[in-house]
Amino acid sequence: MVWMVLFGGVPHQEGYTGQLDKSKLPLISLKVEEYNGLIFASFDKDIMSLDEWLGRAKPWIDLFMKQGAGWPVKTMGEHKFTFPGNWKIQLENTTDAYHFPIVHKSFLDSVDAETQNTFDFVEGAGFVEDLGHGHSVMVMIPELVDLDEGLDAPIPERFAELAAELAKDYPDEQVRKIVRAVGGSGFNLNLFPNLACSMAFFRVLRPLSVTETEIRHIAIGMDGGPDIANEVRLRLHEHFQGPMGFGTPDDAEAWDRVQRGSLAGKDISILLNRGLGHEARREDGNLFSDVSAETGMRAAYRQWLIAMSEEAGA
Amino acid sequence: MSITLQDAISLITLEADMLDHGDFHDWLKLYTPEGRYVVPIDPDVEDFEKVLNYAYDDAEMREKRVVRLLSGRSISAAPPARTVRLLSRYRMLESSDTHCTLRCAQMLQELRQGRVHDYAANLNYRLEMTEDGLKIALKVVRLLISTEALTAVSYIL
């Protein structure tokens, strides 16, 4: 009968002669809440409120949404792909800075020197911070955390053509705001368990099995903003993301190798102690360490352990 | 005289051969300077510039793609995937002495890391007659599974 529901009702209900109480057979409903345009759902009706769950991650979602440059943020299509590995390998990746200059050499080769410099953040002033509940943020480019600040900074050469086109229709300050939004935020926000607000796009994870994961890279743009700026965003997304981008296939290859490496034996240590030696606590209680620290991974695994052990004990 | 189907087939099977055998620098020369290599997601889209694609390459991006594949600095392309592709079911849709459009089927098999993947696609071409002979002005690879989840494709379809 579940199948019949998909067709919009129960056919020939008289066949049940009073033994069918449809009010007792509803579809499963989820607890659904929204924050700043992001919709979350849970099968657990007794789970804490979304407001409490997101907690100290909320200001970072607000900062991420500044990529609308004054317009609402809209989605502009997505790349969807799978890799033959466990979902937590990708979960680790979002706030992992130190893989970037190694795994993404060929991407860095394909951009100009100024952009290479922007992405040379592993030795920089950025940081990784534990935001509670398994969430974490990695700030790679501190000057691009708040896109409304530093609008007088020089426009990067790679956006000079876009800025010149925009200047025909928009005042200088708005041109700068749009161009900064197009370049994306200077941080990756990892929301446990499966959503990342990653610089300039959304990443959604879906475990298909222990050894297979589906990943969606959702492009974002300015809803009502200039088409030429949104098109530059699309080209930037295609350049790095997705199964034919210059970045994603190399990430997928690395995750594939991590998965195969994990089969080497049960007693092999997985080191997650990078940055632990100089990790400190902010006034609000958040742990933080340098940009290449594994603080974000430790945050995610702590929450994963809570989820797994509570479920196991229930 | 209009461009013949035989001339068109000669060019696009040459392209297929070059891509299977890694002759990427020669492959670049098959395109016009304004030419595009496109792998769309949406099966119905024609205005590729306005939407997200898997690849939307102008001459600069094609060249960067080739540099990346040959650089040895991309772990997904070192060692490279090996591919064998067959083109067939050719149909000339429009032809004049300056340009033509045709479509065909492509069956491609990929081997990498001991795994085999199959990709079926409809290919749409716009070819242009230039001073240097017939060139590709547009190649659109419409994958049968374009709206499904793919795996990494570190080569040229």
Of chain B, the percentage scoring pLDDT greater than 70 comes to 100
Q: Tally the domains of chain A.
A: 1
pLDDT at A1: 41
The CATH number of whichever domain residue A304 belongs to comes to: 3.90.380.10
Distance from CA of A248 to the nearest CA of B (A): 7
pLDDT at A14: 85
Residue B68, pLDDT > 70, answer: yes
Assess if residue A109 is contained within a domain.
yes
- DSSP string covering A150-188, please? -TTSPPPGGGHHHHHHHTTTS-HHHHHHHHHHHH--SEE
Name every chain B residue with its beta carbon within 8 A of the beta carbon of A107: 68
pLDDT at A311: 59
Question: B100: pLDDT confidence band, cut at 50, 70 and 90?
Answer: very high
Q: Is B86 on the interface with A (CB under 8 A)?
A: no
Q: Which tokens belong to A83?
A: 């890799």
Name every chain B residue with its beta carbon within 8 A of the beta carbon of A252: 76, 151-152
pLDDT at A313: 44
Minimal-distance CA residue of chain B relative to A250: B76
Name every chain B residue with its beta carbon within 8 A of the beta carbon of A257: 75
Assess if residue A148 is contained within a domain.
yes
Domain, as residue range, for A234: 56-313
Element of type H or E holding A130: strand A127-132
Summarize the confidence of residues B132-136 as an average pLDDT: 97
DSSP label at residue A124: S
Assess if residue A181 is contained within a domain.
yes
Q: Do A238 and B55 touch (CB under 8 A)?
A: yes
B53, B68, B152 member nearest A238 (Cβ): B53
Can you tell me which residue has the tokens 């547009």? B138
Which parts of chain A have pLDDT scores under 70?
Answer: 1-8, 311-314
ipTM, two decimals? 0.95
Residues B18-54 as b or e (16 or more Cβ within 10 Å = b): bbbebebeebeebbbeebbbbbbbeeebeebeebbbb
- The residues pairing with B87 across neighbouring beta strands, listed in sequence order, are B106
Span B5-143 CATH architecture: Roll (3.10)
Q: Is B73 on the interface with A (CB under 8 A)?
A: yes
Find the radius of gyration of the CA atoms of chain B.
Answer: 15
Assess if residue A51 is contained within a domain.
no
Alpha helices in B21-138 (DSSP H): 24-28, 59-71
Assess if residue A47 is contained within a domain.
no
pLDDT at A27: 83
Q: Tens of pLDDT along B36-47? A: 999 999 999 999
Domain ranges of chain B: 5-143
Please, is A232 exposed, middle or buried when counting C-beta atoms within 10 Å of its C-beta (0-12, 13-18, 19+)?
Answer: buried
In sequence order, which residues have a C-beta less than 8 Å from that of residue A149 and are 6 or more positions away? none
Assess if residue A62 is contained within a domain.
yes
Q: Do A80 and B113 touch (CB under 8 A)?
A: no
Assess if residue A4 is contained within a domain.
no
Summarize the confidence of residues B28-52 as an average pLDDT: 97
